[in-house]
Chains A and B, each alone.
Chain A
Amino acid sequence: MVDSTLRDPFTETALRGMVRDFGSDQRAFKEVPWGKVMMWAFLLSDIFIFACFLVGYMTVRITAVDPWPNASEIFALHVGGQDIPLLLIAIMTFILISSSGTMALAVKFGYERRRVATGVLLIVTALLGASFVGMQAFEWTELIHKGVRPWGNPWGAEQFGASFFLITGFHGTHVTIGVLCLVIMAAKVWRGSLDEEKPGFLTGRRGRYEMVENLGLYWHFVDLVWVFIFAFFYLW
C-alpha cells in the first residue's frame, strides 16, 4: 500500500501495532525488512559513538581554562581580498545536503524500477560525497599549515585540535566508506543485478531495491551527523 501523506504516528492503530511489536515473540518490527532493521540497529550504535565524541568535545570545551579558538575566524576563506567566515564549511554543508537529496531521489526511482535514473543519481551522490571529502582534505591541509595539531594550536585551548581531528576525521571516514558503497551499488543497479535479483558475490543475498534504501539510510545518517557537527563545532 502506498501511504504518501505525512501522518500522525500516535493513532490508536499505531499504538496497538507498537504494543504488538514489542510484545510479540520471534519478531518485533513486523513487516519491516530485516535488512532495514539491521541498518537502523547499526546506525543507532553509530549514533552512540558520535554522541560520545560530541559529548566529550563539549566536556573538554567547558572545562578548558584557555579561551576556545574562534571557529568563525579560523575557517574563514580568503576570497576577493577579504575573509569570508566559514565559507568552505558552508559549501561543504550545501554539498552534503545536495547529496542527501539526490540519494533520496535515487531510493524513490529505485522503487519505481527506473534503473538508469537510479544509477545516475547514485553516481551523482558519490561524486558529491567525494568532493566533500576532497574539501575536507583541503581544510585539514590548511589547518595543519597554520600549525594546528592534536596537542596544540596557535590560538588557545589545546583541546581544539584533538576534538577537530577526531570528530571531522571520523565523519570523513564515514563519508569515504559511503562513497565506496555508493559506487558499488551504482554498478549493481547499472548492470541490472537488482532487477534480476542476482545474488551478490560476497553475501549471496538476492539483489533487491531495498538495498538502495538501506544504503540511503546510511548516507542520510552521515548527512545528519554533519548537521550536528556543523552546529556544535563550527557555529557554536
Chain B
Amino acid sequence: MASDNSQQHPLGTYLWVWFLLFVLSVFSYLVDVSGLEGYLKWFLITLFMLLKAGLIMAVFMHLVWERLALILAVLVPPGVLMFLALLMAIEGQHVLSSRLAGILP
C-alpha cells in the first residue's frame, strides 16, 4: 500500500511542482496586471488558485500517497464549506438588495 510511514519520492517530482507553482503564481499575477474584468477574470483567478492548492496538497503535503480514508477525511469537510459559502452568497445578495431598497428612492 501507499500508506507507508516514510514518504520518499524523487527529487524531480518536488522540483517540478515547485516550478509549476511559480508559473501558476505568475499567471494569477498576470490576470491582475492585464486588467481583465468580469467572469473571465474571476474564472481565471479561481482556476489558478485551485490548481495551486491542489498541487500543494497532493504533492507537497503527500496527500496523493496517503490512504483513501485520510484523503476523504481531509477533503470532504472543506467541500461542505462550499455549501456554506453558497448559502452566504445568496443571503448576502438578499441583504444587499434590502439595504439598497432603504437607500435608493
A129-149 residues at the B interface, CB under 8 angstroms: none
Asked whether A51 and B46 contact (CB < 8 A) given A63-B96, A107-B7, the answer is no
Interface string of A50-76 (1 = CB under 8 A from B): 010001001100111100000010000
- The answer to whether A21 and B57 touch across the interface, beta carbons within 8 angstroms, is no
Q: When A and B form their complex, what is the total count of cross-chain residue pairs whose Cβ atoms lie within 8 Å?
A: 188
Give the total of A residues in contact with B, Cβ under 8 Å: 68
Secondary structure at the A interface, as helix, strand, loop or mixed, is: helix
Task: Check if A13 is an interface residue, CB within 8 A of chain B.
Answer: yes
CB nearest neighbor in A for B82: A51
Task: Check if A151 is an interface residue, CB within 8 A of chain B.
Answer: no
Task: Check if A31 is an interface residue, CB within 8 A of chain B.
Answer: yes
Secondary structure at the B interface, as helix, strand, loop or mixed, is: helix
Footprint of A on B, CB under 8 Å? 1-11, 13-15, 17-18, 21-22, 25, 28-29, 31-33, 42, 45-46, 48-49, 52-53, 56-62, 64-74, 77-78, 81, 84-85, 88-89, 91-93, 95-96, 99-100, 103
Footprint of B on A, CB under 8 Å? 1-4, 6-7, 9-10, 13-15, 17-18, 21-22, 28-33, 37, 40, 43-44, 47-48, 51, 55, 58-59, 62-65, 72, 85-86, 90, 93-94, 97-98, 100-101, 103-105, 107-108, 111-112, 209-210, 213, 216-217, 220-221, 223-224, 227-228, 230-231, 234-236
